[in-house]
């Protein structure tokens, strides 16, 4: 069977052995997977000498067979893959042995039954395949950690990311006001069509543009490029949730200004299975759909990864497997 792998410093599609279900595992015939920024970092993490490694953490497909002891799924069930391994209850921080699933960008994968959920019937395969990792991340950041409420205003720098599109939809669904930013006019317009109330150009003075706004919550995943700009528009006593760093990891912070403003700085990453299930119910109740920018075939996965690296997409990039 075919898979998209990182091998000897390069990304390529190659033939690999079919998986076998061990006790407690399920063989999933993968229909669609989604690309994430963590896939881009594979080369930096593994170097140029490593053996073949299948990338991918999102996915949706059909159960082909089940291993010994599996009773909650059967052949023919349509499922989505939960990439959050070993984190079941909604806790303040992930367990010490928490990890993320790898290896979904393949025709078939063996997955522990605990990592599967029924596919939402109202979603297409492309929507279901790009759902879990970014939507879980956004749900925890916005609701568990950020505690956004109806009538509040949230500011989301980086309007075009996959997580950001979920954040906009989630916030508008509860009656919050949404402000986003992007250097791309096309992404700003797309964000407004999705429901954003204000879309700022990254080149403008945010403090001046938002002087009449009261921002209760900032959700920032960009890192050093926007951290202090985002903090500067947050109301005194407001909340700032950080879940990623697509630019530099290290930021300078004026501690005196920070404690005088009595700001709340909150870290977040991924989410638990409990939150995933809450999120699935939330999305179905509000009939929310993932934003799919484009769909590639497995043979085109390298081109899809390059497209993601260029950062031109709005929403998620899907890779159709079967």
138 in a structural domain: no
Whether 61 and 124 share a structural domain? yes
Whether 297 and 246 share a structural domain? no
Q: What is the CATH number of the domain that holds 166?
A: 3.40.50.720
Give per-residue pLDDT as tens, 57-67.
999 999 999 99
Give per-residue pLDDT as tens, 90-142.
999 999 999 999 999 999 999 999 999 999 999 999 999 999 999 999 999 99
Whether 191 and 160 share a structural domain? yes
Q: Which DSSP string corresponds to 164-179?
A: HHHHHHHHHHTT-EEE
Query: For the chain, what is the domain count?
Result: 2
Whether 116 and 226 share a structural domain? no
pLDDT at 41: 79
Question: The tokens of 239 are what?
Answer: 């909340």
95 in a structural domain: yes
CA-to-CA dists, residue 68 to 27, 61, 77, 139, 163, angstroms: 12, 20, 17, 34, 36
Q: CB pairs under 8 A, 24+ apart, for 120-123?
A: 120/80, 120/280, 120/283, 120/284, 122/284, 122/287, 123/289, 123/290
The domain of 13 spans 2-132+290-320
Consecutive 10-residue runs of the chain (322 residues): their mean pLDDT?
92 95 97 93 73 93 97 97 97 96 96 98 98 97 98 94 95 98 95 97 96 97 88 97 82 93 97 98 97 97 94 94 90
222 in a structural domain: yes
Q: What is the CATH number of the domain that holds 115?
A: 3.90.180.10
Give per-residue pLDDT as tens, 137-173.
999 999 999 999 999 999 999 888 889 999 999 999 9
- How many angstroms separate the CA atoms of 113 and 133, rounded? 17
140 in a structural domain: no
């Amino acid at each position: 069977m075919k898979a998209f792998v990182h091998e000897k410093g390069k990304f390529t599609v190659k033939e690999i052995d079919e998986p076998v279900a061990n006790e407690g595992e399920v063989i999933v015939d993968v229909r669609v997977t989604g690309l994430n920024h963590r896939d881009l970092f594979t080369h930096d993490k593994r170097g140029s000498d490593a053996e073949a490694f299948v990338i991918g953490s999102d996915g949706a497909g059909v159960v082909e067979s089940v291993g010994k002891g599996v009773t909650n799924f059967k052949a023919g069930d349509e499922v989505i893959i939960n990439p959050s391994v070993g984190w079941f209850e909604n806790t303040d921080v992930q367990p010490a042995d928490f990890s993320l699933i790898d290896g979904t960008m393949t025709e078939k994968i063996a997955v522990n039954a605990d990592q599967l959920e029924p596919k939402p019937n109202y979603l297409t395969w492309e929507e279901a395949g790009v759902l879990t990792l970014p939507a879980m991340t956004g749900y925890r950041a916005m609701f568990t950690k950020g505690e956004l409420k109806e009538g509040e205003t949230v500011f989301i720098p980086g309007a075009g990311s996959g997580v950001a599109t979920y954040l906009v939809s989630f916030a508008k669904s509860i009656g919050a006001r949404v402000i986003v930013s992007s250097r791309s006019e096309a992404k700003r317009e797309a964000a407004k069509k999705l429901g954003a109330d204000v879309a700022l150009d990254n080149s403008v003075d945010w403090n001046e543009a938002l002087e009449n706004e009261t921002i209760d919550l900032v959700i920032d995943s960009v890192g050093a490029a926007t951290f202090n700009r985002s903090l500067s528009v947050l109301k005194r006593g407001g909340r700032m949730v950080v879940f990623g760093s697509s630019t530099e990891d290290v930021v300078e912070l004026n501690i005196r200004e920070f404690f005088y403003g009595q700001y709340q700085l909150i870290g977040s990453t991924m989410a638990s299975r409990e939150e995933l299930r809450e999120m699935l119910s939330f999305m179905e109740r509000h009939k929310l759909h993932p934003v799919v920018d484009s769909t590639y075939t497995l043979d085109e996965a390298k081109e899809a990864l390059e497209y993601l690296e260029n950062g031109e997409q709005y929403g998620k990039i899907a890779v159709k497997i079967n």
